[in-house]
Each structure stands twice: as C-alpha cells, then as structure tokens.
C-alpha cells in the first residue's frame, strides 16, 4: 500500500512570494490533515478535511493560507504572501475516517522563507 505522498520535499522562497504544496493521501482515506511543524515543536493542525469538506480550519491563518481538496482525494496548501515565520515543515496526514484513529503522515515539505 502506497503511503502519503507530498511534493515538493524542499522549497526556498523569499518573503512576500507565494508557494504551494501538494499532498496525495492513502487511497480510500476520507480524512486529510495539514499540519505545520516549527523546528523544535510538535505539529500544529492547520486544516482538516472530511472528503472535500472542511471540518476544522480554526488555526489556519486565512489572510495568507488557503487549502483545497476539490475532488476529495489530493489536496493543495497555498501560502500567499509568505512571511519569515512561515519557515517550517508542512506535514500532510490522512486517516480512514473522522474518528481520530491512526493518522498516516507523509514525509513533509520543508519550507525556508528568506
């Protein structure tokens, strides 16, 4: 069974530029999560989808971050414009159903904003 795929693995941009991350969850997983992990901290949930609907985006900075999961499968997370404090690893995870059972994580995208 293929795992959660993410791309790109690394990205370096200058502040005020835009960037997009892509995630393809495990086949059949209805729930998809985007986390932000700042160096030395635990992952922080940004947004959670159930199929193509948003379940929780309470910690998503909506003035600059957006995410979509149009067909209920893969998802994109966008930052526009980026700030220095957005430097972090962006992790995508998926789970079978919305019951907070095991989440399966992708390798993450490491973003550096200069």
Chain positions contacting other proteins, by CB under 8 A: 4, 35, 40-45, 48, 55-56, 91, 93, 98, 100-108, 110
Q: How far is the CB of 41 from other proteins (least distance, A)?
A: 6
Q: How far is the CB of 35 from other proteins (least distance, A)?
A: 8
Question: What tokens does 6 get?
Answer: 């993410």
Dihedral pair phi/psi, residue 80, rounded to 5°: -160, 115
Nearer to other proteins, 3 or 14 (CB): 3
Q: How far is the CB of 113 from other proteins (least distance, A)?
A: 19
CA 54 to the chain's CA centroid: 13
Nearer to other proteins, 27 or 102 (CB): 102
Nearer to other proteins, 19 or 93 (CB): 93
Please answer whether residues 46 and 113 qualify as being in contact, where contact means their C-beta atoms are separated by less than 8 angstroms.
no
Give the SS3 label for residue 85: helix
- CA–CA dist 112, 31 (Å, integer): 27
Give the SS3 label for residue 84: helix
User: How many residues appear in the chain?
Assistant: 114
Q: How far is the CB of 90 from other proteins (least distance, A)?
A: 11
Nearer to other proteins, 22 or 105 (CB): 105
């Amino acid at each position: 069974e293929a795992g959660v795929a993410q791309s790109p693995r690394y990205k370096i941009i200058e502040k005020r530029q835009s960037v997009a991350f892509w995630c393809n969850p495990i086949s059949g997983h209805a729930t998809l999560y985007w986390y932000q992990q700042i160096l030395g901290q635990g992952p922080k949930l940004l947004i959670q989808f159930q199929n193509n609907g948003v379940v929780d985006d309470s910690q998503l900075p909506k003035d600059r971050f957006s995410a979509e999961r149009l067909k209920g499968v893969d998802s994109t997370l966008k930052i526009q414009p980026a700030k220095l404090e957005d430097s972090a690893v962006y992790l995508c995870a998926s789970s079978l159903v919305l019951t907070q059972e095991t989440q399966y994580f992708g390798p993450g995208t490491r973003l550096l904003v200069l």
